[in-house]
């Protein structure tokens, strides 16, 4: 499998330019999922001071996927991670459809895994890490650390992350560790322990964790799939994004060869989907605090590049809505901010305060109205709820309160929205490069991956060749027979036989067995439903 020649030329030019200076030892990439320019403007007003992001703004990024103007997070993150555009649902995997004008068509076959910048960094001897406030196997963190045609295959993605040699993994997702919640019935917590990680699940344990591999999974309780919004979290139970970033840097920077770290402010996107401006702005500020941690380290270190960029827009948020179509120029800035500052929680946080009233089926009793009014006044600062709004809150089904009260706050703050979905506008690129070679202007999302690869002096195409060989084709060239053991359908095993050699390769894992002896693989084995892809060092085991 060869790299696309055009992509190879672009990468070579970027490496040549970077060669005018030393290559960076480390890259920290921070992704505020679903953020927009209106969001950073509101956050700046809310904070009353500049953002850490402000001085490093340097360009724009087009966020299209291979088949659409408005990207899903999976292909959007994959573009940043692999340098290849992909399509909805794909995690670090080549898509089937490349129809958008100007999109680069890969020579790779559809649905095959391609190496990520994190994996290429690991192969170069660097340490690696991923951080998110969503489940740790959610689309964006998975884009850098796992491979599957579908972002929904959480079992596969989580298992690959646990086996992919990543030094630091921090995020939400506690329920997905339990064997009884997984189709393959694997105890992921036991696997994490066996793979040499220190496991932590609260802030104090995170801060006191020793050097070495670290796996942290957090949530307000053991049933929480993701971490809380920053304004809602209990600081003793759930660390901030900045605290997780600081700990990851502390551990990863011990490697003299450098590191790659991806940090996602995941729930900026979720807040935008819900049109909840309180959650949106406060999580942007929490993300900006993490950016400051990264920049402070990079400036002191002198050999670390920091990149911050969202993967796509979301919600069409605007400062000003249709109610001020006339008189917008006479509307003071406090109109947009004061209603947000009155809130002590997000819609999700309010739901927790109303837990005794909120029902799965959304049933509502008028007798609940006084409690709803009192609770909303106390925690959102809204004292003029209409009867219809009270009823809407009372009828909200569990897990949906952001979608109900977010627009209520937004309406009072004159903040507009056009959708509950993603949007297709270009997004702001932020970059700090100590060698003054930062990427600028209007670029494609795939260009960001190429810039990081050149910065770290790694080759994504070579990493793909080393990690993901077409098993059936390559073993056949050696005269071996390939079959699949599906005795356990959820844990299939690739079986390769030739003469007196039998190689067994379990799906999603980074080891194999040659005649019963365990052999380490350079990467995880990926089965995409039709084909197996394995590391070259496993291919080389067969004579």
Query: According to the annotation, is 269 in a ligand binding site?
Result: yes
Asked whether residue 321 is marked as a ligand-binding residue, the answer is no
Sole residue written with tokens 């400051």: 292
CA distance 417 to 420: 8
Q: Where are the alpha helices (DSSP H) in 223-276?
A: 241-252, 267-274
Going by C-alpha positions, the residue among 325, 349, 320, 327 that lies closest to residue 411 is 320
The rounded distance, in Å, linking the Cα atoms of 128 and 117 is: 10
Nearest Cα neighbor of 214 from 192, 235, 236, 243 is: 192
Find the catalytic residue in 65, 73, 315, 510. Answer: 73
The annotation status of 140 as a binding-site residue, yes or no, is yes
Could you give the CA distance from residue 460 to residue 457 in angstroms, rounded to a whole number?
10
CA distances to 275, 330, 372 from 339, in Å: 14, 18, 18
- DSSP-assigned states of every residue in 321-363: -GGGTTTGGG--THHHHHHHHT-SS-HHHHHHHTTTT-BTT--
For 34, 354, 461, 504, the CA distances from 493, given in Å and listed in that order, are 38, 48, 27, 6
C-alpha 351/C-alpha 373 separation (Å) is: 13
Give CA–CA dist 225/232, Å, rounded.
15
Q: First and final CA of the chain: distance in angstroms?
A: 21
The answer to whether the annotation marks 312 as part of a ligand binding site is: yes
Specify the pairing of strand 422-423 against strand 511-514.
unpaired
Residue 147, annotated as binding a ligand: no
As a whole number of angstroms, the distance between CA 41 and CA 28 comes to 24
Give kind and range of the element (H or E) at residue 37. Answer: helix 37-47
Contacts of 358 (CB under 8 A, 6+ apart): 351, 396, 397, 398, 401
* H helix intervals, 416-478: 445-456, 460-467, 471-477
Length of the chain: 543
- Residue 448: strand pairing partners: none
How distant, in Å, are the alpha carbons of 73, 348, 357, 390 from that of 360? 28, 15, 10, 17
Q: Cα separation of 527 and 543, whole Å? A: 23
Question: CB of 33 within 8 A of CB of 140?
Answer: yes
- Distance (Å, whole) CA 342 – CA 336: 12
Under 8 Å between Cβ of 412 and 24: no
The three-state (H, E, C) secondary structure of 383-415, written as one string: CCCCHHHHHHHHCCECCCHHHHHHHHHHHHCCE
Q: Is 422 annotated as a binding residue?
A: yes
- The four Cα atoms 482, 541, 500, 506 give a dihedral, to 10 degrees, of -50
Annotation marks residue 73 as catalytic: yes
Q: Binding-site residues for Zn(2+), please?
A: 33, 269, 273, 311-312, 422
Looking at the annotation, which residues are catalytic? 73
Binding residues for Mg(2+): 33, 138, 140, 264
């Amino acid at each position: 499998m060869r790299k696309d020649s055009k992509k190879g030329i672009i990468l070579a030019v970027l490496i040549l330019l970077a060669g005018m200076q030393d290559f960076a030892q480390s890259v920290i990439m921070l992704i505020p999922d679903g953020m927009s320019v209106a969001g950073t403007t509101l956050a700046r007003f809310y904070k009353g001071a500049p953002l850490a992001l402000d001085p490093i703004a340097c360009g724009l990024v087009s966020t299209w996927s291979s088949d659409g103007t408005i990207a899903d997070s999976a292909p959007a993150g994959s573009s940043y991670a692999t340098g290849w555009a992909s399509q909805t649902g794909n995690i670090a995997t080549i898509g089937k459809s490349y129809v958008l004008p100007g999109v680069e068509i890969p020579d790779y076959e559809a649905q095959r895994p391609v190496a990520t910048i994190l994996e290429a960094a690991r192969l170069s001897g660097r340490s690696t890490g991923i951080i998110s406030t969503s489940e740790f196997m959610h689309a964006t963190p998975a884009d850098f650390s796992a491979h599957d045609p579908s972002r929904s295959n959480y079992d596969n993605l989580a298992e690959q992350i646990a086996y992919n040699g990543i030094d630091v993994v921090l995020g939400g997702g506690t329920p997905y560790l339990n064997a009884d919640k997984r189709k393959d019935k694997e105890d992921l917590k036991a696997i994490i322990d066996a793979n040499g990680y220190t496991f932590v699940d609260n802030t104090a344990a995170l801060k006191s964790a020793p050097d070495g591999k670290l796996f942290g999974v957090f949530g307000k309780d053991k049933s929480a799939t993701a971490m809380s919004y920053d304004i809602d979290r209990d600081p003793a139970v759930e660390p901030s994004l900045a605290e997780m970033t600081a700990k990851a840097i502390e551990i990863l920077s011990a490697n003299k060869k450098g590191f790659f770290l991806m940090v996602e402010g995941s729930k900026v996107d979720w807040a935008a989907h819900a049109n909840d401006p309180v959650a949106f702005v406060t999580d942007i500020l929490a993300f900006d605090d993490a950016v400051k941690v990264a920049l402070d380290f990079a400036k002191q270190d002198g050999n670390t590049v920091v990149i911050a960029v969202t993967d796509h827009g979301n919600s069409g948020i605007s400062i000003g809505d249709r109610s001020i179509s006339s008189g917008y120029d006479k509307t003071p800035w406090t109109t947009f901010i004061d209603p947000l500052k009155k809130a002590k929680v997000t819609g999700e946080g309010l739901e927790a305060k109303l837990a005794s009233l909120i029902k799965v089926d959304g049933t509502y009793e008028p007798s609940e109205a006084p409690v709803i009014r009192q609770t909303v006044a106390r925690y959102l600062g809204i004292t003029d709820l209409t009867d219809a709004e009270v009823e809407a809150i009372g009828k909200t089904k569990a897990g949906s309160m952001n979608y109900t009260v977010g627009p209520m706050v937004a309406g009072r703050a004159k903040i507009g929205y056009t959708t509950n979905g993603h949007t297709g506008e270009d997004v702001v690129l932020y970059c700090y490069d100590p060698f003054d070679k930062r990427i600028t202007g209007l670029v494609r999302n795939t260009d960001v991956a190429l810039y990081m690869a050149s910065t770290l002096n790694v080759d994504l195409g070579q990493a793909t060749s080393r990690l993901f060989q077409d098993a059936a084709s390559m073993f056949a060239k050696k005269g071996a027979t390939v079959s699949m053991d599906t005795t356990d359908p959820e844990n299939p095993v690739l079986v390769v036989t030739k003469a007196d050699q039998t190689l067994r390769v379990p799906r999603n894992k980074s080891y194999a067995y040659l005649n019963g002896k365990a052999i380490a693989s350079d990467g995880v084995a990926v089965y995409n439903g039709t084909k197996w892809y394995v590391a070259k060092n496993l291919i080389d085991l067969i004579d």
